[in-house]
Amino acid sequence: MTESYAPPLLEVVGPTSGALLRRRIFTHKGLLIGSTLLTIVLLLALLAPLIAPHDPYAQDLTQRMIPPLWSEKGTWAHVLGTDNLGRDYLSRVIYGARISLLIGFAVMVISGLIGAALGLAAGYFGGRTDMVVTFFITIRLAMPVILVALAVVAMVGGSLWVVVLVLGLLKWDRFAVVMRAATQQVRSLDYVTAAAATGASTPRIIVGEVLPNVLPQLIVVASVEAASAILLEAALSFLGLGVQPPLPSWGLMIAEAKAYMFFSFWLIAIPGTALALLVLAINMVGDGIRDVSAPSGRG
Amino acid sequence: MLAFATKRFGLALLVAVTVSALAFLLLRASGDVAIALAGEGARAEDIESIRRIYGLDRPLLVQYFDWLWKMAHGDFGQSLYFKTEVWPLVMEKLPTTMLLAVFSLTFALAVSIPLGILAAVYPNSWIDRLCLALAVVGQAMPNFFFALILIMVLAVSLHWLPVSGSESWAHFVMPTITLGYYIAPVFMRLVRAGMIEVLASDYVRTARAKGLSQTSIILKHALRNALVPIVALSAVQLGLLLGGSVVIETIFALDGAGFLAYQSITHKDLPVTQALLTLLSILYVGLILIADIANAWLDPRIRVG
């Protein structure tokens, strides 16, 4: 991105940092595979009404439990077969991507805002603020997420937005821990001191100087948290205390198929594989970003 | 050392009390206990009288301190669903969960320490790649999906293990593998990274120069130092296991505190849910306290800082 302004000397010395970064991105196999996979899932989710062959909610009791195409009794009409209510499984899996992605993204944003704000404040101000934030983090860590989430959803009643809100309010701990440590490292560096010396206001220093420099760590945590939120929603829905039927949440699909698992395991294997692939893709992108942004910290 | 331990203990106590208050408030705020107690279709005056009998019409703060006071004396109240005292009920189920947690942690360490060492000693070899693949899949696979696959393979197809229940040691095998595999990837990565760092250090080079064998260097000199962070991580992961046991015990119908938690939640058995949430949190705080003190004992630098 700086090539056009780069003085000739730099080109003799070697490629610019922008070009190096681009090279690292395009030669990182994990990042490429992960982002391709993630893009596919994203497109499936966005274009679901155009791609899905059937209405994911349309029941047809004459077409129940049709096995997928690769088994002997499979048909092209239902490539991944149908479930116990005769709903087209492929269409449900495609629409299910919307729920998982929405959960991952929304939980990441809510918990990211809370956690990053707490972590930045604790790392930047130190002292008493740090003590209070650390105490909050300790308390939050002491309460098992899945247990609290199950209990609250059971009392309030399950729905997509309740799950988003509950997980968003619970999962900020890792953001806070990582942001606190990263901010502590950055805050005593010369450019932050320089900004303070030129009379920049505190919010301006935090947003303009500190935040951009802890951004790589923030993105990595965000990917980890999005993946973990998707798995948690699936687990909650699997236990019947998450997203409610007839929504095609992948976790809920596995729960509904559990009664038929001994004879029709594909009903579980398909949404399970979809979940694993999506989480794998997000983890690969996160790991890739970590490697690319800090080439020395590979391992 | 004593001052450090006292300070940590005080903090842990403060955390435990705050968590108990949060657990109390959270569950109270999420719904009306009197309605849950009265059951569906109860008349308004019945709900009112239940509210009076159970003391639910008092201020929330009074109710909390009353609950805390009784709990400190071992009185957790009555279960609404199981119709027994909460304390003996929980104490009956807790050992199963603790056993499962210890088994899972042991399984995870037994798999990840040797694999992590091999991956570090032969970086970029096939074994390193295998470890990476195992770790990547383990982190992406939903644990309840993995549990169902295990049931299909080990119980339904091969008939090696019972599908569910908790009568014998065989019932613990699949839950242990599921939960162990769920926490193993982090250990594997930490052992590998730690070993690579230690193997490049000066004292390992000295040991090599002295002519010590590779096995002796790895097991006697390098491993000890690479394992220090594992102690702290084990405490954190045990906490994760206590939460994860809710899902896994429910799938395998393993009769522990996790399954009890699930049953109490689905039956709106508030006293049991409250007691379990508080106890599991306190257990976690206790584990972290022990890990903190053990670490300070192992590494004197922590005590000062």
Nearest CA in chain A to B21: A139
The amino acid at A123? G
**Which range marks the domain in which residue A275 is found?**
30-292
Q: How far is CA B207 from CA B160, B196, B199, B204, B212, in A?
A: 47, 16, 10, 5, 6
Residues B34, B32: Cα–Cα separation, whole Å: 6
CA angle B178, B228, A180 (to 5 degrees): 85
Could you tell me if residue A262 is inside a domain? yes
Residues of chain B contacting residue A151, judged by C-beta atoms under 8 Å apart: 26-27, 30, 265, 273, 277
Residues of chain A contacting residue B101, judged by C-beta atoms under 8 Å apart: none
Q: A28: which 2 tokens?
A: 């990182």
Residues of chain A contacting residue B140, judged by C-beta atoms under 8 Å apart: 227, 276-277, 279-280, 283
Compare CB distances from B273 to A151, A156, A299 and report the shortest one's residue: A151
**How does DSSP classify residue B297?**
H
Could you tell me if residue A193 is inside a domain? yes
Mean per-residue pLDDT for A204-225?
88
Is A31:A290 a contact under the CB 8 Å cutoff?
no
Residues B176, B192: Cα–Cα separation, whole Å: 23
Residues of chain B contacting residue A231, judged by C-beta atoms under 8 Å apart: 142
Q: Of A8-12, A261-265, B79-83, B286-290, which gets the smallest average pLDDT?
A: A8-12
Residues A176, A164: Cα–Cα separation, whole Å: 19
Could you tell me if residue A21 is inside a domain? no
Question: What confidence score (pLDDT) does residue A10 get?
Answer: 46
Q: Of A116-120, B184-188, B232-236, which gets the smallest average pLDDT?
A: B232-236
Residues of chain A contacting residue B19, judged by C-beta atoms under 8 Å apart: 139, 142-143
**pLDDT tier, B159 (very low <50, low <70, confident <90, very high otherwise):** confident
Question: What confidence score (pLDDT) does residue B199 get?
Answer: 84
Question: Rounded to the nearest 5°, which phi and psi values hold at A153?
Answer: -60, -40
Could you tell me if residue A188 is inside a domain? yes
Nearest CA in chain B to A254: B145
Residue position matching structure tokens 């972590």: A119
Over residues B239-256, the pLDDT tens digits come to 888 888 999 999 999 999
Could you tell me if residue A56 is inside a domain? yes
Could you tell me if residue A3 is inside a domain? no
Domain total in chain A: 1
**pLDDT tier, A172 (very low <50, low <70, confident <90, very high otherwise):** very high
Is residue A225 pLDDT above 90, yes or no? yes
Question: What confidence score (pLDDT) does residue A41 get?
Answer: 95
Question: What confidence score (pLDDT) does residue A13 get?
Answer: 58
Residues B185, B136: Cα–Cα separation, whole Å: 7
Mean pLDDT of chain A: 87
**pLDDT tier, A179 (very low <50, low <70, confident <90, very high otherwise):** very high
pTM of the predicted protein model: 0.88
Q: Could you tell me how far CA A111 lies from the centroid of its own chain? A: 11
Could you tell me if residue A177 is inside a domain? yes
Nearest CA in chain B to A278: B140
Count residue pairs from A and B with Cβ separation < 8 A.
127
**DSSP 3-state helix, strand, coil percentages of chain B (rounded to 5)?**
80, 0, 20
Q: Which of B18, B144, B153 to mutate to test the interface with A (most CBs of A within 10 A)?
A: B144
Over residues A53-101, the pLDDT tens digits come to 888 988 888 888 888 888 877 788 888 888 888 898 999 999 999 999 9
CB contact under 8 A, A261 and B148: yes
Is residue A299 pLDDT above 50, yes or no? no
Is residue A194 pLDDT above 90, yes or no? no
CATH number at residue A275: 1.10.3720.10
**pLDDT tier, A4 (very low <50, low <70, confident <90, very high otherwise):** low
Q: Of A8-17, B184-193, B295-304, which gets the smallest average pLDDT?
A: A8-17
Q: How far is CA A12 from CA A6, A7, A16, A17, A22, in A?
A: 11, 10, 10, 14, 19
More confident residue, B181 or A15: B181
Compare CB distances from A231 to B26, B142, B280 and report the shortest one's residue: B142
Mean pLDDT of chain B: 85
CB count in 10 Å sphere of residue B127: 14
CB contact under 8 A, B239 and A146: no
Distance from CA of B26 to the nearest CA of A (A): 8
Residue from A148, A143, A140 nearest A166 by CA = A148
Question: What confidence score (pLDDT) does residue A1 get?
Answer: 44
Could you tell me if residue A13 is inside a domain? no
CB contact under 8 A, A258 and B239: no
